Structure 1
Amino acid sequence: MPALVGRTGTPAASLPAVSNVDGGDATAVARAAVVTMWTVDTAIDATQWDAAQRAAPFLTPAYAESLRISPQVAGPGGTWLTWAQHKAVTRVVATSADDSGKPPDTDTKALHAFMVTITASGGNGWTGPPVIATAFVSLERASAAQPWKVSSVRLID
């Protein structure tokens, strides 16, 4: 079965600019990655996988490559089909959901959680119900002098 891959382009939604994200701040890098990975524009994206590809600058090379070589091959589901019907673009808000018992960041490893609210709006004035999930993000870097990179993201709804 062929992969579902969208067209090249820039989404109509605003994305975090890599140059505006402090690479020394694990929370900022994690938030930027999550927002980018779930900001979709159904005019150019075939599935959420296309949005995830745009997050590559925030990801470790290994994680970015694992996502790149694993495009979605199954149908994107009912929510996506509704969004596509309305030519929707998503707006993503990622609010820290770090628990007080979370292990502290070290110089080279960090774990952060976010409550993610994804709201789709169509050009015809349509707004869908928000999708709310929790994203668990792992980050790493070779040393404290290097920028943080996301090594995995797990979204649980």
Structure 2
Amino acid sequence: MSVSHVPGDAVDHPRSREFAAKVRAHHKELGHTEPQIRGVEAVTHLTRLVARLVQDFERAVHRPLGMTWAGFRIMNTLWIFGDLEQRQIARISGTSRASVSSALNTLEERGLVERRRERDDRRVVRVSLTPAGLALLHQAIEGQTAREHAWMAVLDDEEVSRLVVLLGRLVNQERPA
């Protein structure tokens, strides 16, 4: 299967594909063991992949819809969990509180989310998607799902299933000591 990419993408840079080998060599020089080096390689690949995915999703899906990655993550979190307290959104979506506040201002100005104070405790602000927000989110989900499928096409179904299990174990573990 051929892999296509966008000019200017990370794989265009001649040193991009050398990165993992160079990381391995430098860690060997530091005297790290093979299990340590494999861990470094895995995390290096994951962080580089996340950066490439976010860039691709923003370029191909979210920007054309007038959205940002942070806005999409917040709206997706609200779609999955329903109304949430503003402070919960940052934790659940993996977005900083400052980014949540800024993104919510933009989303609210565009009529995509609604914030309201609780009657019993006016300090608590709850956020929900508006019908317009839900409609836009559904468009973004369709585009993103297509991009995700394109990215995963280099793996067969069994490999994807195994990767899902392994990544789930990593992401759902308690923070290592």
TM-score, length basis structure 1: 0.23
Q: Which has the larger radius of gyration?
A: 2
Higher RCO structure, 1 or 2 (CA under 8 Å, sep 6+): 1
Q: Which has the higher helix share?
A: 2
Q: Which has the higher strand share?
A: 1
